[in-house]
């Protein structure tokens, strides 16, 4: 009895000594979270002997914790350097791990300091997903988003949206989005081409949308021509911009109407042509600033 | 046949008294505990992970039982000499082997059945508490009956490993049997490399050898359909049947070989 | 009438040595027959081949040459095994089972009908003296109790021939007496008993015939009474109040003198020295004759002598062979 108590007392003493020593000599934490013991997916696949999906789950949890940990960590410089390797491992172990590709891409493309800001890695991981499951339209869609949001390249985004739309089971709003992207990227020819294809669609709302979009494209073209016209006609000094001196100078036959029949507005100060607010075509799609 | 049944039931009784069923308790604790923790950690993937964990744990626990009881099935009896009194009874040596094998298979069957039920119970609970909108995003239903396909193949794989362990147990010591059985398990799980050897090596002889090994070694990786089932991918019935038949044929070969070796043995 | 057990030319070689090059002959051309109803003793020192013979009869090992039959069927015949019982040496049974469970399990394997099983198990356990302990797991049993269970399991199927390997081992004197009584009971029931032992007293008490085996070879076989050496070999006198002078006078006539203490001595006389002429002379010195017995060579002496002879013969035959102590 005494001996049992003595044994417990010694153990408690050992613990107390450990706490006291740790306080006096804090140990450098080997940052185990940041160590990736096995870097090669092929090796790991063999090591886990058929329990690939479970190992994938473990790496997925590690990926989330790594991302969350670095994101929430207000101290050390955050580099998220293990995020792509962990996601790569996860998806190599389980190529059907849908969420790993999709959320992974979101995390990877998130701009610094919220994330590593690596849209190229996001695209890479999604392409891996496509290699494993070529028919999954969501992966193409996600790549398109990465191009649009992170890389500010709406034309590339449109290409990927079109590819997504071509996959089996793809929803029918992908094509309109592709076309809208092209317009944003100032590639009106391709946009027009896409919208014209949609004029023959089954759904009523799609046909109306296409018609509307085509009119907007026409409006944009007209605005460009009007803008060029204004630029090339010398303005009488002291006057603000208006349509009448253009008409008087013979360049225009009358106040120009937009394709929906509403007159264009000319800003008196800047000389910029826009559609009227009350026009059916308002607002016109704006081109995206490449960054 | 009655002798085989008596021996089988005795093996089952021994495993119960050796407290093998406690592993079921451990399994249940593992699964239930994980399901609670995982919800915090995995961004909505807990059902997938529970399925992965349940199938993997069933496989691993079953593997331990198959190997550690399998290697002792015969060697323990011979070493302790309880086999002397047994073989003096009107049973043939092949009947003895069949009875021992059937007993361990029965133990494994009960184990796998209980684990399957426990896994479905946990999945059922997780499905019940989840919103329908969220459930619509799942690739496969929570209590997906396709999981039974994976469990069935896992069970046949365990039967095959048991037959391997029994085979070695008739002529080697327990430690050696364990090592050899585990070695064959690893080789059988990694045999994809053997199949594709010719793409990696230039030598034709080596490629042929690898191909030969691929066919001779037990093809255990074929029994692993866990990933497909968890992601809701289809598994054709023909695949299931042909793999099961392969398992049955290989098991028969091992059992018959075991009987041959055992029938010729001297018990010193 | 065919014999219960018939052995002809039975030989067993083991290979020893790392590459299995040397051969060790555990049993050399054993031949004997046992008639139904006999209690046959199979005697020999440790390592003589007794257990090897029994294992060959149970087909736990396979002979190098020769053959054996039990109840007219070749050894290994499964149907014949329904009619025999076997107790191995130093038996071990499944220690996680209770005595009752073990016997019930074996009874199932012996195809004892379910209706009879319980009764037979219970009766046998009573007969071998296992009482309440029958509900305990065998791992809690002492060696002697395991031995009793072993005897019980050998009798489950009411066998015609019972093979017992060292049935007395592990038993205290009470237990040994019980087993002796049991063997006699089996004989009275008309069963054949073949038992091996190195305890000669048991053989003397029970056996109708014995075989003596040493070094793998049969050294002698026959009825105890007939083995010729059991004739009188001398005389033993126990004398009291013998004075030292008288002792010295008679000492040359004796083969051996043992002092038992305070004037008492045991005098061993050779056969030729007729004791009836010596006794009056002893009495004349004032000593008292306590007892006089003829000395027969006991089974033990016979045994020791024949074993030594067999050893010598073996060494002469095969100079390079040696025991592996098996």
Identify the segments of chain C with pLDDT beneath 70. 1, 20, 225, 227-232, 296-300, 302, 314, 317-326
CB proximity B56 to A under 8 Å: yes
pLDDT band at B114 (very low <50, low <70, confident <90, very high): very high
> What is the reported pLDDT for C326?
38
What is the CB neighbour count within 10 angstroms for residue C1? 5
Burial classification of residue B262, based on how many CB atoms lie within 10 Å of its CB (0-12 exposed, 13-18 middle, 19 or more buried) = buried
Q: How far apart are CA B55 and CA B49, in angstroms?
A: 10
**CB distance from C224 to chain B under 8 Å?**
no
B196 in contact with chain A, both atoms CB, cutoff 8 A: no
DSSP result, B104-142: HHHHHHHHHHHHHHHHHHHHHHHHHTS-HHHHHT-SS-T
Per-residue confidence (pLDDT) for residue C232, from 0 to 100: 65
Residue among B38, B45, B193 whose CB faces A99 most closely: B45
Instruction: Kindly determine whether residue A52 and residue B227, on different chains, have CB atoms separated by under 8 Å.
Output: yes
pLDDT tens digit sequence for A62-109: 888 888 877 776 666 667 888 898 999 999 999 999 989 998 898 888
Determine the distance in angstroms separating the CA of B190 from the nearest CA of chain A, rounded to an integer.
7
Beta-carbon separation of B193 and A46 below 8 A: yes
Residue B260 has pLDDT above 60, yes or no: yes
Residue that has been written with the tokens 């037990």 in this structure: B218
Single out the residue of B135, B115, B126 nearest to residue B38, CA to CA.
Answer: B126
User: Which pLDDT score, from 0 to 100, does residue B223 have?
Assistant: 92
**Do C and A count as touching (3 or more CB pairs closer than 8 A)?**
no
Looking at the complex, report in whole angstroms how far the Cα of residue A201 sits from the nearest Cα belonging to chain B: 28
Pair A285, A185: CB distance under 8 Å: no
Question: Helical H runs in B129-191?
Answer: 132-136, 147-169, 174-189
Contact C91 B84 (CB under 8 A): yes
A53/B contact by beta carbon, under 8 A? yes
In the block, tokens 């071990």 appear at C92
* Three-class SS of C166-197: CCCCCCCHHHHHHHHHHHHHHHHCCCEEEEEE
Query: What are the angstrom distances between the C-alpha of A85 and each of A45, A207, B70?
Result: 14, 45, 40
pLDDT tens-digit map of C21-38: 778 889 999 999 999 999
Cβ of C110 within 8 Å of Cβ of B90? The answer is: yes
pTM of the predicted structure, to 2 decimals: 0.79
Distance from CA of C32 to the nearest CA of B (A): 21
Q: Which chains touch A (3 or more CB pairs under 8 A)?
A: B
Q: pLDDT per residue over B143-169, tens digit each?
A: 889 999 999 999 999 999 999 999 999
Q: Which residues of A touch B193 (CB under 8 A)?
A: 46
What residue has token string 């990465």?
Answer: A146
Whole-number percent of chain B with pLDDT over 90: 53
Q: Per the structure block, which two tokens stand in for A82?
A: 């293990």
Predicted pLDDT of residue C99: 94
| B186-192 average pLDDT score | 88
Burial class (CB within 10 angstroms; exposed 0-12, middle 13-18, buried 19+) of A284: middle
Best to test chain C binding among B18, B82, B88 (most C CBs inside 10 Å): B88
Q: B10 to chain C: which residues are within 8 Å by CB? A: 94, 97, 105
**DSSP secondary structure code for residue A240 in this structure:** P
The 3-state DSSP class for residue A257 equals strand
Res C124: pLDDT: 94
Decide if B193 touches A, using CB distance below 8 A.
Answer: yes
CB contact under 8 Å between B221 and A99, yes or no, is no
pLDDT score of A71: 76
Q: Distance between CA B73 and CA B93 in Å, rounded?
A: 14
C-alpha Rg value of chain C to the nearest Å: 25
Q: Is A46 on the interface with B (CB under 8 A)?
A: yes
How many angstroms separate the CA atoms of C48 and C218, rounded?
A: 9
Angle, vertex CA A14, rays to CA A12 and CA A18, nearest 5: 115
Sign, CA torsion C90/C96/C100/C104: negative
Q: What SS3 state is found at A259? A: coil
Residues 146-185 of B with CB under 8 A from A: 185
CA B266 to chain C, closest CA, distance in angstroms equals 4
Total residues found in chain A within this entry:
291
| Interface chains of chain B (3 or more CB pairs under 8 Å) | A, C
Residue B216 Cα distances to A79, B184, B188, B194, angstroms: 49, 11, 10, 11
User: What pLDDT sits at residue C314?
Assistant: 66
Contacts of B89 in chain C (CB under 8 A): 81, 106, 109-110
Higher-confidence position of C255 and B58? B58
Nearest to A64 among B43, B48, B56 (CB): B43
Contacting residues of B for A65, CB less than 8 Å apart = 41
Which tops the pLDDT comparison, C320 or B206?
Answer: B206
Residues of chain B contacting C105 with CB distance shorter than 8 Å: 6, 10
Rounded distance between C-alpha atoms, residue B186 and residue C39, angstroms? 57
Confidence of residue B83 (pLDDT cuts 50, 70, 90): very high
Query: A283: cis peptide before it, omega within 30°?
Result: yes
| A236, two tokens | 């009488």
Answer yes or no: do B227 and A46 touch at CB < 8 A: no
Q: Going residue by residue through chain A (291 aa), what tens digit of pLDDT does each one get?
A: 888 899 999 999 999 998 888 888 777 655 555 666 777 878 888 888 888 888 898 889 888 888 887 777 666 666 788 889 899 999 999 999 998 999 889 888 888 777 888 899 999 999 999 999 999 999 999 999 999 888 888 889 999 999 999 999 998 888 888 888 888 888 888 888 888 888 887 788 888 888 998 999 999 999 988 888 888 877 777 778 888 878 887 778 888 888 888 888 888 888 888 888 888 888 888 887 765
List of chains touching C (3+ CB pairs within 8 A) = B
Q: Is B226 on the interface with A (CB under 8 A)?
A: yes
- Mean pLDDT of the B112-125 span: 91
Q: CB–CB of A54/B53 below 8 Å?
A: yes
């Amino acid at each position: 009895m005494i001996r049992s108590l003595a044994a417990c007392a010694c153990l408690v003493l050992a613990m107390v000594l450990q706490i006291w020593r740790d306080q006096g000599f804090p140990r450098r934490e080997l940052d185990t979270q940041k160590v990736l013991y096995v870097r090669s997916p092929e090796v790991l696949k063999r090591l886990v002997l058929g329990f690939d999906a479970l190992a994938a789950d473990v790496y997925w949890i590690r990926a989330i914790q790594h991302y969350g940990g670095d994101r929430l960590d207000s101290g050390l410089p955050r580099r998220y350097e293990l995020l792509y390797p962990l996601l790569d491992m996860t998806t190599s172990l389980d190529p059907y791990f849908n969420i790993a590709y999709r959320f992974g891409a979101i995390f990877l493309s998130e701009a610094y300091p919220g994330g590593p800001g690596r849209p190229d890695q996001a695209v890479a991981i999604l392409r891996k997903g496509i290699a494993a499951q070529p028919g999954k339209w969501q992966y193409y869609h996600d790549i398109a988003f990465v191009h649009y949001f992170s890389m500010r390249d709406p034309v590339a985004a449109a290409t990927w949206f079109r590819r997504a739309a071509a996959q089996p089971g793809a929803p029918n709003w992908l094509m309109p989005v592709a076309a809208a992207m092209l317009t944003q990227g100032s590639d009106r020819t391709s946009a027009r081409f896409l919208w014209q294809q949609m004029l023959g669609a089954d759904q009523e709302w799609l046909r109306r949308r296409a018609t509307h979009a085509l009119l907007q494209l026409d409006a944009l073209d007209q605005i460009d021509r009007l803008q060029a016209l204004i630029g090339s006609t010398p303005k009488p000094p002291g006057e603000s911009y208006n349509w009448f001196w253009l008409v008087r100078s013979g360049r225009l036959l009358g106040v120009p109407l937009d394709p929906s029949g509403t007159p264009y507005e000319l800003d008196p100060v800047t000389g910029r042509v826009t559609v009227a607010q009350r026009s059916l075509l308002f607002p016109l799609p704006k081109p995206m600033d490449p960054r | 046949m009655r002798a085989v049944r008596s021996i089988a039931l005795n093996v089952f009784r021994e495993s119960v008294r050796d407290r093998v069923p406690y592993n079921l308790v451990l399994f249940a604790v593992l699964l239930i505990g994980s399901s609670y923790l995982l919800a915090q950690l995995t961004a909505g993937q807990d059902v997938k992970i529970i399925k992965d964990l349940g199938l993997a744990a069933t496989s691993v626990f079953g593997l331990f039982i198959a190997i550690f009881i399998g290697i002792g099935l015969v060697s323990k009896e011979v070493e302790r000499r309880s086999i002397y009194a047994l073989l003096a009874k009107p049973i043939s040596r092949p009947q003895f082997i069949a009875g021992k094998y059937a007993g361990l298979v029965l133990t494994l069957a009960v184990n796998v059945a209980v684990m399957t039920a426990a896994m479905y119970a946990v999945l059922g609970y997780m499905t019940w508490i989840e919103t329908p909108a969220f459930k619509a995003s799942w690739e496969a239903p929570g209590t997906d009956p396709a999981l039974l396909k994976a469990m069935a193949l896992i069970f046949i794989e365990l039967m095959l490993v048991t037959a391997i362990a029994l085979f070695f147990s008739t002529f080697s010591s327990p430690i050696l049997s364990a090592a050899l059985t585990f070695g064959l398990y690893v080789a059988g799980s990694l045999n994809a490399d053997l199949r594709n050897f010719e793409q990696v090596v230039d030598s034709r002889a080596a490629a042929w050898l690898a191909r030969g090994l691929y066919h001779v070694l037990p093809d255990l990786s074929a029994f692993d359909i866990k990933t497909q089932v968890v992601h809701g991918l289809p598994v054709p019935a023909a695949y299931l049947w042909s793999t099961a038949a392969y398992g049955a044929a290989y098991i028969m070969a091992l059992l018959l070989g075991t009987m041959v070796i055992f029938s010729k043995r001297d018990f010193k | 009438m065919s014999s219960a057990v018939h052995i002809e030319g039975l030989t067993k070689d083991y290979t020893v040595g790392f590459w299995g090059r040397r051969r060790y002959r555990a049993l050399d051309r054993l031949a004997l027959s046992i008639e139904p109803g006999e209690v046959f003793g199979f005697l020999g020192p440790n390592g003589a081949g007794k257990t090897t013979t029994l294992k060959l009869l149970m087909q736990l090992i396979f002979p190098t040459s020769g053959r054996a039959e039990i109840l007219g069927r070749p050894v290994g015949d499964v149907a014949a095994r329904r009619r025999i019982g076997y107790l191995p040496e130093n038996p071990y049974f499944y220690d996680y089972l209770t005595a009752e469970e073990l016997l019930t399990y074996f009874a199932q394997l012996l195809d004892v009908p379910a209706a009879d099983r319980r009764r037979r198990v219970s009766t046998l356990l009573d007969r071998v003296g296992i009482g309440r302990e029958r509900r305990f797991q065998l791992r809690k049993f002492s060696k002697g109790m395991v031995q009793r269970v072993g005897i019980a399991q050998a009798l489950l199927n009411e066998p015609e021939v019972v093979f017992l390997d060292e049935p007395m081992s592990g038993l205290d004197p009470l237990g040994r007496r019980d087993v002796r009584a049991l063997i006699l009971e089996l004989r009275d029931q008309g069963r054949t008993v073949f038992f091996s032992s190195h305890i000669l007293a048991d053989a003397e008490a029970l056996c109708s015939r014995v075989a003596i085996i040493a070094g793998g070879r049969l050294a002698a076989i026959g009825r105890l009474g007939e083995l010729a050496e059991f004739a009188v070999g001398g005389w033993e006198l126990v004398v009291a109040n013998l004075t030292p002078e008288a002792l010295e006078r008679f000492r040359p006539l004796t083969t051996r003198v043992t002092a038992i203490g305070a004037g008492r001595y045991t005098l061993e006389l050779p056969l030729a020295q007729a004791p009836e002429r010596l006794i009056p002379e002893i009495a004349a010195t004032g000593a008292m004759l306590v007892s006089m017995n003829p000395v027969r060579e006991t089974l033990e002496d016979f045994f020791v002598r024949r074993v030594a002879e067999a050893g010598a013969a073996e060494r002469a035959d095969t100079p390079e062979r040696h025991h592996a102590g098996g």
